[in-house]
Amino acid sequence: MTELRAHEAVNQYFADAAMVLELDDEMSAILTTPYREIAVQVPVRLDDGSLLVTRGYRVQHNGARGPYKGGIRYHPSADLNEVRALASLMTWKTALLDLPFGGAKGGLEVDPTGMSDGELQRMTRRFMQGIQHVLGVYRDIPAPDVNTNAKVMAWMMDAFSASHGYSPAIVTGKPLDLGGAPGREAATGRGCVFVLDAHCQHHGRDLASQRVVVQGFGNVGSWVARSLHERGAKVIAVSDVRGAVVDQAGVDVPGMVALVGSGGSVVEAARGDVISNEELLSLDCDVLVPAALGEVITGANADEVRATVVLEAANYPVTPDADKVLRDRGIDVIPDILANAGGVTGSYFEWTQNIQQFTWKEERFTAELLDRMQGAFHFTQAFADEHRVPLRVAAYAIGIRRVAAAARLRGYI
Ligand code: NAD
């Protein structure tokens, strides 16, 4: 069975929701096509004197509701098709959360593993040089994603400010000493847990009694695990690119955070049994949280998932073929554009604080995040109940309806 490529797959999800909305073909054509795509050459002089020439992309999918917004990832799979798919997800996500943004995504098609800070910084500055003319505090605001972090955002902010004047609001996810917002780093993972909590309550379950498996232990996965641990839920397995570890008694989450924070891998943990990443996905649990990369649950392995709920912390972790298998098996999927929207919601809080030059305390940030994430869940669940559709269709439909309304009002067609 051949699965769709990422952008075609996301447009398949779009089509399912467009049918519920009875969206006309002209608007569908506008909303499934990216507005602008930039591909740039990014040469970087490596420390050994050799030259690495890589490709960088920025896709601005739709800006009907506000400036383009979306992360930048450094990964070998970040080609134009993948970045396009991720950019369109951002359009539906920002609209679902009713944020005043459009959707964008960026990527450098490179494996940054083992690159020195000097190499990473030169590569980042060169990439920004290639795309800065389409960015702007009210045009397009990048953020961190896979293999990029606050340090990379600081270089991006500096590279942009060098030609446009001091501009902290040009990127979000910055270090706290440079206009970052207390709470932003944790926002995506915490937001996932806020949504899961609301989902549990809706179904009469208790978050604290859930047994959870988390794939990926980077920014998102580690904060999902930390928030679950703080709320009393049991994280029974975690993984990273090197493998997975399972501990039915409950993973020592603070110990794991310290281990990974000091450069180690989850497979080096003192407790638990090491298993493969494939085995992790088929562990018996209440909630499976893919929090690493896209397309990890496919038509080939969806039959093996033994969870009651799949919480999509990563972007596009479940392909349309897998989505159908999970639905037929009665497994509830909390879709990425709802589950992981805490990241862009936190970015919105950071952006507004930068523009107003007024800093919030972390308590305010987290309280606003809770309110917006749980509000979005209840709104999505109500749509799903009213139209008798899965949460993914409901989430897309709400986002698409809002973007279509703005596009019509602005005279796009
Ligand atoms: P990250 O680079 O901080 O972490 C990625 C994690 O995935 C690492 O632990 C890495 O070891 C692991 N990983 C990589 N390849 C793997 C593989 N083949 N098998 C298992 N694990 C693997 O990235 P992140 O920022 O945590 O992003 C993770 C996901 O969440 C991505 O899909 C991203 O688009 C999405 N997301 C991130 C944010 C954010 O604010 N950072 C917001 C919304 C969505």
pLDDT per residue as tens digits for the range 263-275: 999 999 999 999 9
Check 105, 174, 234, 324 and give the catalytic one: 105
Query: Could you tell me the pLDDT band of residue 2, with boundaries at 50, 70 and 90?
Result: confident
User: What is the distance in A from the centroid of ligand 1 to the CA of 231?
Assistant: 22
pLDDT tens for each residue of 220-232: 999 999 999 999 9
Of the pLDDT bands very low, low, confident and very high (cuts 50, 70, 90), residue 376 is very high
Predicted confidence (pLDDT) at residue 1 exceeds the cutoff of 60: no
- Atom 40 of ligand 1 has which residue's CA nearest to it? 343
**Minimum-distance ligand 1 atom for the alpha carbon of 242:** 11
pLDDT computed for residue 315 by the predictor: 97
Residue located nearest, by CA, to atom 37 of ligand 1: 145
From 219, 222, 267, the mutation candidate for ligand 1 (largest count of ligand atoms within 8 A of CB) is: 219
Residue linked to tokens 């497994």: 331
Work out the average pLDDT over 245-260: 98
CA of 278 to the centre of ligand 1 (A): 16
Please state, for a pLDDT cut of 90, what percent of the chain lies above it.
99
289 CA → ligand 1 middle, Å = 11
CA 219 – ligand 1 centroid, Å: 7
Residues 81-110, mean pLDDT to the nearest whole number = 98
Spatial distance between the Cα atoms of 380 and 404, rounded to a whole number of angstroms: 17
Residues 269-286, mean pLDDT to the nearest whole number = 97
Length of the chain: 413
**pLDDT computed for residue 28 by the predictor:** 98
Q: What is the pLDDT of residue 60?
A: 98
User: Which residue among 146, 147, 281 has the greatest number of ligand 1 atoms within 8 angstroms of its CB, and so is best to mutate?
Assistant: 146
Kindly report the protein residue whose alpha carbon is nearest to atom 17 of ligand 1.
241
pLDDT, mean of residues 110-123? 98
| Average pLDDT estimate for 127-153 | 98
In testing the pocket of ligand 1, which one of 92, 115, 223, 240 has its CB within 8 Å of the most ligand atoms?
Answer: 240
pLDDT at 135: 98
Report the C-alpha gap between 278 and 263 in whole angstroms: 23
Q: How far is the CA of 387 from the centre of ligand 1 (A)?
A: 33
**Interacting residues of 315 by C-beta distance below 8 A, sequence separation 6+:** 86, 89, 294, 336, 340
Q: What is the pLDDT of residue 377?
A: 99
Residue nearest to atom 31 of ligand 1 (CA): 314
Q: Which of 1-15, 52-66, 232-246, 278-292 has the lowest mean pLDDT?
A: 1-15
* Catalytic residue status for 361: no
Beta bridge partners of 333: 310
pTM of the complete model beyond 0.95: yes
Looking at ligand 1, which residue's alpha carbon is closest to its atom 32? 314
Residue whose CA lies nearest to ligand 1 atom number 29: 314
- Average pLDDT over the chain reads 98
Residues with CB under 6 A from ligand 1: 144-147, 188, 215-221, 239-241, 277, 291-293, 313-315, 340, 343
Q: How far is the CA of 120 from the centre of ligand 1 (A)?
A: 18
CA of 277 to the centre of ligand 1 (A): 14
Q: What is the mean pLDDT of residues 99-114?
A: 98
CA of 220 to the centre of ligand 1 (A): 6
Whether 368 has a pLDDT exceeding 90, the answer reads yes
* Ligand 1 atom with the shortest distance to the CA of 260: 9
Q: pLDDT exceeding 70 applies to what percent of the chain?
A: 100
Please enumerate in sequence order all residues whose Cβ is within 8 A of that of 116, keeping only pairs 6 or more positions apart, or say none. Answer: 47
Mean pLDDT of 10-18: 98
Contact partners, residue 248, CB within 8 Å, separation at least 6: 236
Atom number of ligand 1 nearest to Cα 292:
7
CA-nearest residue, atom 41 of ligand 1: 145
Region 33-62: mean pLDDT is 98
Residue 5 has pLDDT above 60, yes or no: yes
